[in-house]
Structure 1
Amino acid sequence: MVFGPTLFVLAAFVVYLSVVIVQQGTVAVITVFGKYARVMGPGLNFKIPFIELIYRRISIQNRSVELAFQAITADQANVNFKAMLVYSVLNQDEETIKNVAFKFIDETSFMQALIRTIEGSIRSFVATKRQSEILSLRSEIIEHVKSQIDTLLESWGYHLTDLQLNDIAFDEVIMRSMAQVVASSNLKAAAENEGQALLITKTKAAEAEGNAIKISAEAEKTASQLRGQGVALFREEVAKGMAESAKVMNAAKLDASLILFSIWTEAIKHFAENSKGNVIFLDGSTEGMDKTMKQLLAVEKMNTIPEVAAIVKPE
């Protein structure tokens, strides 16, 4: 009767040791007397107690690690890098899991090898570049690292999922000098743009002024031509009118000087009607009128129209 409960407890203990629960995203590597035997997948599994042992549980999920290190450029400038590395087990094949489980003695050794490999790859790339080129080569650095270590990581059973260079910084002295270079370049560009804008403005203003002067000159020329044509036409019409009047007066046997007297009186009337002044001084004496008539006759003698000059010539 005593052996019954004992056997039950012993059987329960053996079952407890035989049951293995593997979490999702994880696999368990089983060894028999220290030798690799098989891989257990996620879920409920069973093993032989005391013979099969769980050597290692391996996560097949993505893992990340942050890196901070320094590199030196070809022109001896110190560059500080801060990076984030994302990696994972290559796949769930048996050979891949065996590599992950047995290549390194533990996880710490693997992480140390991985970090140092990536740092060395970046340092070797940066050592061939000048400090002025580094900031623009972020994507080239990442591609260089991936091409350098992808094959190596696959031999370890891992895959480099992503590498991000979150920060690339130089020493404070270099950063200040770079800021000064950028500021001076911006000032130079601003001055050049301002000069170009001023040149364009002045050129356009000069062109506009030149066009305005040209238009004004053309308008003045046209106006002068029109005024000259108007004066010539006026003189022609006056001469024709005077010639007709002279013919009429000769036919009536009247003195042609009356024409000049009529012009004189019309001129006085025009002055009175259109002048802006308040007073007109006239010499109304016989001598004054005679003097005026002689002046008008002298003007008419200068007329280039032969007909009028012959008519108004005093006898």
Structure 2
Amino acid sequence: MPFLTILFVLLLVVGFLSIVIVQQGTVAVITVFGKYARVMAPGLNFKIPFIETIYRRISIQNRSVELAFQAITADQANVNFKAMLVYSVLNQAEETIKNVAFKFIDEASFMQALVRTIEGSIRSFVATKRQSEILSLRSEIIEHVKSQIDTLLESWGYHLIDLQLNDIAFDEVIMRSMAQVVASSNLKAAAENEGQALLITKTKSAEAEGNAIKISAEAEKTASQLRGQGVALFREEVAKGMAESAKVMTEANLDASLILFSIWTEAIKHFAENGKGNVIFLDGSTESMDKTMRQLLAIEKMNSNADDDQQKTPPKR
């Protein structure tokens, strides 16, 4: 009985040591007396106790690491970088798993090599650029790093999924000087915009004033023409009226000078009512009125002759 008990216990221990559970997202590398033997997939697995050993469990999930380092530009400006790196095992092929398991002595050594490689790649790129270019070259820096380390990481069994430059900052003195440059550039642009706005305002004002003067001149010209036409028509109608009156009085054997006398008295009355104290000199002599009367009769005679000639002229066909 004691022997059977011991045997049963030994079998339980061997069975327990034979069972290996590999978590999802990881694989287990098995060695036999220190030499690579096989890879265990996620789930329930079995191994030979005391012969097969789990050398290392490797995660095939994505992993991330944050980086913080400094680089120097071509014009000797210090640039502080904060980055996040996302990487993973290249694939689950046996050769890839062997590289991951045996290329580096431990995980810390791999991380040190990975971080230093990326920092060196970024520093070499930044060293060829000036500080004024760095902030606008974020995507170019990432592409440069990926192109340089992709092949190297594949030889280690990994690949770079993403590299994000979360922060790019210069020393405080440089940041203040850059802020002053930006502020002065903004002030210059504001002054130029204000000057352009003032020029446009002045130009538009001058154009508006010129258009107003032009319109006013055109209106005054038209008004002067209309006033001249009105005065001419007024004079013509007065002359016609006076000539007609003189003709009627002559036919009635009345003295035409009565018309002039009537006009003269009406004029004196109008001057007295609306003169406002002004002194006006009038020629009220009989010779002047007689001369005016003869001129009016002559005008009437010319108008009568013109009407007769128009009636005698045959119409054009």
TM-score by length of 1: 0.86
- Identify if the C-alpha distance between structure 1 residues 210 and 284 changes in structure 2 by more than 3 Å, giving closer, same or farther: closer
- Identify if the C-alpha distance between structure 1 residues 303 and 252 changes in structure 2 by more than 3 Å, giving closer, same or farther: closer
1:134-176 deviation digits (Å, cap 9, x = unpaired): 0000000000000000000000000101111111111111111
Does the CA contact (< 8 Å) of 1:261 and 1:293 recur in 2? no
Q: Structure 1: how far apart are the matches of 2:126 and 2:173?
A: 19
Secondary structure, in 3 states, of the residue corresponding to 2:233? helix
1:86-122 deviation digits (Å, cap 9, x = unpaired): 1100000000000000000000100000000000000
Using the TM superposition, name which of 232-241 and 147-156 deviates more. 232-241
State the match for 1:66 in structure 2. Answer: 66
C-alpha displacement at 1:292, in angstroms?
14
State the match for 1:120 in structure 2. Answer: 120
Does the CA contact (< 8 Å) of 1:73 and 1:128 recur in 2? yes
Q: Structure 1: how far apart are the matches of 2:297 and 2:183?
A: 87
Q: Structure 2: how far apart are the matches of 1:229 and 1:294?
A: 26
1:190-213 deviation digits (Å, cap 9, x = unpaired): 111111111111111111111111
C-alpha displacement at 1:8, in angstroms?
1.1
State the match for 1:281 in structure 2. Answer: 281
Using the TM superposition, name which of 271-280 and 112-121 deviates more. 271-280
Does the CA contact (< 8 Å) of 2:243 and 2:296 recur in 1? no
C-alpha displacement at 1:254, in angstroms?
2.1
How many correspondences in the alignment? 306
Q: Structure 2: how far apart are the matches of 1:211 and 1:20?
A: 97
Using the TM superposition, name which of 293-302 and 114-123 deviates more. 293-302
- Identify if the C-alpha distance between structure 1 residues 271 and 301 changes in structure 2 by more than 3 Å, giving closer, same or farther: farther
Q: CA RMSD in A?
A: 5.5
C-alpha displacement at 1:266, in angstroms?
3.8
Does the CA contact (< 8 Å) of 2:242 and 2:296 recur in 1? no
Secondary structure, in 3 states, of the residue corresponding to 1:48? coil
Secondary structure, in 3 states, of the residue corresponding to 1:125? helix
1:242-283 deviation digits (Å, cap 9, x = unpaired): 111112222223222211222234446656888899999999
Using the TM superposition, name which of 243-252 and 124-133 deviates more. 243-252
C-alpha displacement at 1:187, in angstroms?
0.5
Does the CA contact (< 8 Å) of 1:121 and 1:148 recur in 2? yes
Secondary structure, in 3 states, of the residue corresponding to 1:280? coil
- Identify if the C-alpha distance between structure 1 residues 26 and 225 changes in structure 2 by more than 3 Å, giving closer, same or farther: same
Does the CA contact (< 8 Å) of 2:257 and 2:290 recur in 1? no
1:31-80 deviation digits (Å, cap 9, x = unpaired): 00111000001000000000000000000011111111111111111111
- Identify if the C-alpha distance between structure 1 residues 274 and 7 changes in structure 2 by more than 3 Å, giving closer, same or farther: farther
Does the CA contact (< 8 Å) of 2:256 and 2:293 recur in 1? no
Q: Structure 1: how far apart are the matches of 2:242 and 2:30?
A: 140
Does the CA contact (< 8 Å) of 1:29 and 1:36 recur in 2? yes
Secondary structure, in 3 states, of the residue corresponding to 1:129? coil
Does the CA contact (< 8 Å) of 1:260 and 1:296 recur in 2? no
Q: Structure 1: how far apart are the matches of 2:300 and 2:182?
A: 86
Does the CA contact (< 8 Å) of 1:28 and 1:56 recur in 2? yes
- Structure 2: 5+ residue stretches without partners: 305-315
- Identify if the C-alpha distance between structure 1 residues 269 and 55 changes in structure 2 by more than 3 Å, giving closer, same or farther: same
State the match for 1:307 in structure 2. Answer: none
Using the TM superposition, name which of 59-68 and 249-258 deviates more. 249-258
Secondary structure, in 3 states, of the residue corresponding to 1:284? coil
Aligned pairs for 1:136-147 (under 5 A) are 136-147=136-147
Does the CA contact (< 8 Å) of 1:272 and 1:280 recur in 2? no
Q: Structure 1: how far apart are the matches of 2:302 and 2:262?
A: 19
2:188 maps to 1:188: yes
Q: Structure 1: how far apart are the matches of 2:187 and 2:301?
A: 79
- Identify if the C-alpha distance between structure 1 residues 251 and 287 changes in structure 2 by more than 3 Å, giving closer, same or farther: closer
